[in-house]
Amino acid sequence: SPEPTPILQADGLVKRFGGFYALGGLTFHVAPGEILGLVGPNGSGKTTAINVISGLYAPDGGRVTFEGRSIGGLASHRLVHLGINRTFQVPKPFLSLTVRQNIEVALAYGRSASAPPSIESLLQEYRLAEVADRPAQDLNNVQQKTLDLVRALATGPRLLLLDELAAGLNPTELDWIASRIRSLAQAGMAIIVVEHLMGFIEQITDRVIVMNAGKEIFEGTLAVAVKVPEVIEVFLGG
Ligand code: ADP
């Protein structure tokens, strides 16, 4: 079957910190409805890739297009309005605001993106209804992670970037969050997942990019990736 047209295409992305190349020419794409995993050893540039795609850092080279439009160097808030949003390894809610208020802020921030879900439906679907009127600082780990995801969803993204969303979750919570992510993809969202838990990556991704030293060294399914000598070597040697 023909490959769907990518919603995001990155070609030869470069990001330097001083003389160090965190991304040394990274090329990948993701299509609507697809869950792409970025995997690789610590320091291989996965989070930097998310940071560049989400506008936290401007790339030092290469090209990124979203829905056919060049977006390299656009600031995060512009990208949110275009339909790209993310979660963070360490969630950063407004701690003294309630869960509901945090979502309201996100809804206002993403005002021009595609039609966002309602606050009530988000609270219900993501199991935050019971804590809706509590300050975000009272939330436990899974609730903090979930709120971060919901805040991203409230801006109506068509491309969602998840950085270590699964870290620290127990197996039941992992299954639940995996089912939520899959249902977002089934509704047409493009999703990029950075995750260390290979079981979780295997469970939810359609395809992975294996990174090493700021470049892709493999593209395909995780099942195939784990049989490729170069991939095995970077994981064992990394
Ligand atoms: P990964 O997510 O694969 O573990 P990162 O993208 O976090 O890797 O980091 C890639 C490399 O870039 C690492 O060597 C890291 O130390 C470096 N790096 C990342 N962000 C910065 C930064 N803001 N300043 C300097 N070096 C950074």
Q: Strand (E) positions, 43-180?
A: 61-66, 69-70, 84-86, 159-163
Q: What's the 49 CA to ligand 1 centre distance in angstroms?
A: 10
Would you say the CB of residue 42 lies under 6 angstroms from ligand 1? yes
Convert the pLDDT of each residue in 121-167 to its tens digit: 999 999 999 999 999 999 999 999 999 999 999 999 999 999 999 98
The whole-angstrom separation of Cα 131 and Cα 48 is: 33
Report CA-CA distances (Å) from 173 to 81, 125, 127, 165. Answer: 30, 14, 11, 11
Q: Are strands 61-66 and 35-39 parallel, antiparallel or unpaired?
A: unpaired
Residue 211 has pLDDT above 80, yes or no: yes
Would you say the CB of residue 238 lies under 6 angstroms from ligand 1? no
Residue pair 193/3 in contact by the 8 Å Cβ criterion: no
**The ligand 1 atom nearest the CA atom of 57:** 23
- Segment 179-194 shows an average pLDDT of 97
Would you say the CB of residue 48 lies under 6 angstroms from ligand 1? yes
Q: How many CA atoms lie within 13 A of 93 on its CB side?
A: 27
In this structure, what DSSP letter does residue 98 have?
Answer: B
Would you say the CB of residue 17 lies under 6 angstroms from ligand 1? yes
Spans of all domains in the chain: 1-83+159-238, 90-157
Q: How many CA atoms lie within 13 A of 213 on its CB side?
A: 7
pLDDT grade, residue 112 (50/70/90)?
low
In this structure, what DSSP letter does residue 238 have?
Answer: -
Residue pair 6/53 in contact by the 8 Å Cβ criterion: no
- Segment 34-40 shows an average pLDDT of 97
Would you say the CB of residue 214 lies under 6 angstroms from ligand 1? no
What is the ipTM, given to two decimal places?
0.97
Residue 29 has pLDDT above 90, yes or no: yes
- pTM of the predicted protein model: 0.95
Q: What's the 16 CA to ligand 1 centre distance in angstroms?
A: 10
**The ligand 1 atom nearest the CA atom of 163:** 2
The residue assigned the tokens 């409805």 is 33
What number of other Cβ atoms are within 10 A of residue 82's Cβ?
19
CA-nearest residue for atom 25, ligand 1, is: 17
pLDDT grade, residue 92 (50/70/90)?
confident
**CATH dotted code for 1-83+159-238:** 3.40.50.300
CA-nearest residue for atom 14, ligand 1, is: 43
The whole-angstrom separation of Cα 63 and Cα 27 is: 9
Would you say the CB of residue 215 lies under 6 angstroms from ligand 1? no
Buried b (16+ CB within 10 A) or exposed e, 213-233: bbbbbbeeebeebeeeeebee
